Amino acid sequence: MKTKMMNVVVLALAFAFACFGCNDYPSPEEQMINNGEGTDTTGTSISYKERAKLTYDMIQTHYAIGDLYRENFPAQSGDNNQYSYLWPYVGMLTAGNVLFELGYDEAILNKEFGGLEAYYDSRPNLPTYQAYVTAIQSTDHYYDDSAIVAMELIDAYKNTNSPFYLERAISVAEFIMSGEDDVLGGGLYWFEGQSAGCNSGPNCIKAANTTAYASFVTAELYKLTNNPVYLNFAKRTYLWNYNTLRDPGDNLYYNSKHITTQQIDATKWTYNAAMMIMAAVDLFEITGDQLYITQATATAQSAFSEWTSVRNDRLFYPANDSWFNTELMTSYIRLTEHVPQADQYVQVFINNLDYAWDHARNSQGQFYEDWSGNNPGRYYWLLHQAALVEAYGRASLYLNEE
């Protein structure tokens, strides 16, 4: 039976690869997603909403230091900072937003966004959030960090209607947009310290992540403000990524392009595909141009083919970088609003989450980085735990749980 199942799944994966570029998605039967028949389903009586909150509570137990968090639990070699960097902290902003959308007390959202201010650099020119707590040390300002903060500020505004969040997102967007210039024809640098004028070093790059995030954030701001500056920026940066860092062979995105050597870093990450899908969906909703949905669909199909594999006799998304993968889940959910067949890709994520609850947690309640349970990976990192609050919360919202 096991050999037969493996053969069917391999054939299904071959179909998924062959179907890249098709107009129709493979059916559930053709993908042969294993929904868990014959496996332990002890977590199925617990709703996704409850799992999101239980995961959040676990984080409070092991990671919280007042309104902030430690980077790792248990502490790892080289952990010299008292608090986490901004990037993993943003995972907790998402947790606050998602739990609010699930109906939990607004005090959770307020706690997370209150703690965020510890990272705010109120400098006179282009104030924004820096990589570490400002009262402890001065660090660089990353365009991608600021963009993911802006995304959460925008969601907090949508959730609470508090003008502070929109005003702060607009202010941070000024910094994000300053990361673009006409070197290499456009695109955004990775961080301020290696931006305009840099000519050497591995970080002297224009990056897919910053550019895609910037496109999405400014498209979101256009929806809220109708300011054409944001729409023009969103369209321009989306097009630069599409033309410069997209692999035409599979419609996925390379990591970056070096300023001086013009060498492409050909690494491909799930979250870069995710953010280009989300930017495309927003631009379609704004402009009505079907081309954006066509491009998003091509990337979504290829991302599924490239980044699913058979482990424990079922399909799983990558065994590394839980937060990146959760971004892909979110993008698929957004795509289903216009391409209902993308639900099939969301369902694989939900199946992975079901399996992870039963098979990929340690005795402290922390999730393995590999949701198949085969390898704990960097389970200790705050961001990998925060990703699960988001993932279970988004599953609950997608399924319209009571």
| For the chain, percent of residues with pLDDT exceeding 90 | 88
Q: What pLDDT score does 33 carry?
A: 39
Q: What pLDDT score does 44 carry?
A: 56
The model's confidence at residue 402, banded by pLDDT at 50, 70 and 90, is confident
Q: Is residue 354 part of a domain?
A: yes
Q: What pLDDT score does 45 carry?
A: 87
Q: Is residue 277 part of a domain?
A: no
128-133: long-range contacts (C-beta < 8 A, 24 or more apart)? 128/171, 128/172, 128/175, 128/176, 129/86, 129/172, 130/86, 131/85, 131/86, 131/87, 132/81, 132/83, 132/85, 132/86, 133/68, 133/83
Q: Is residue 253 part of a domain?
A: no
**Total number of domains constituting the chain:** 1
Which tokens is 164 given? 């502070």
Give the mean pLDDT of 138-161: 98
Q: Is residue 395 part of a domain?
A: yes
Q: Could you report the per-residue pLDDT of 209-226, keeping only the tens digit for each?
A: 999 999 999 999 999 999
Residue 359 pLDDT > 50, yes or no?
yes
d(CA 290, CA 309): 31
d(CA 297, CA 41): 32
The radius of gyration of the chain from alpha carbons, rounded to an integer in Å, stands at 21
Q: Is residue 312 part of a domain?
A: yes
d(CA 44, CA 381): 26
Span of 123-127, 197-201, 228-232, 321-325 with lowest mean pLDDT:
197-201
| For the chain, percent of residues with pLDDT exceeding 70 | 89
Q: Could you report the per-residue pLDDT of 179-192, keeping only the tens digit for each?
A: 999 999 999 999 99
Q: Is residue 23 part of a domain?
A: yes
Q: Is residue 207 part of a domain?
A: no
The model's confidence at residue 341, banded by pLDDT at 50, 70 and 90, is very high
The model's confidence at residue 2, banded by pLDDT at 50, 70 and 90, is very low
d(CA 301, CA 308): 11
Which tokens is 70 given? 């430690």
How far CA 96 is from CA of 53, 69, 74, 102, in Å, comes to 10, 14, 23, 10
d(CA 208, CA 40): 40
Signed CA dihedral, 19, 23, 28, 33: sign only: positive
- Cβ-count burial of 218 within 10 angstroms (0-12 exposed, 13-18 middle, 19+ buried)? buried
d(CA 203, CA 113): 30
Q: Is residue 20 part of a domain?
A: yes
Residue 167 pLDDT > 50, yes or no?
yes
Residue 14's domain comprises 1-62+308-402
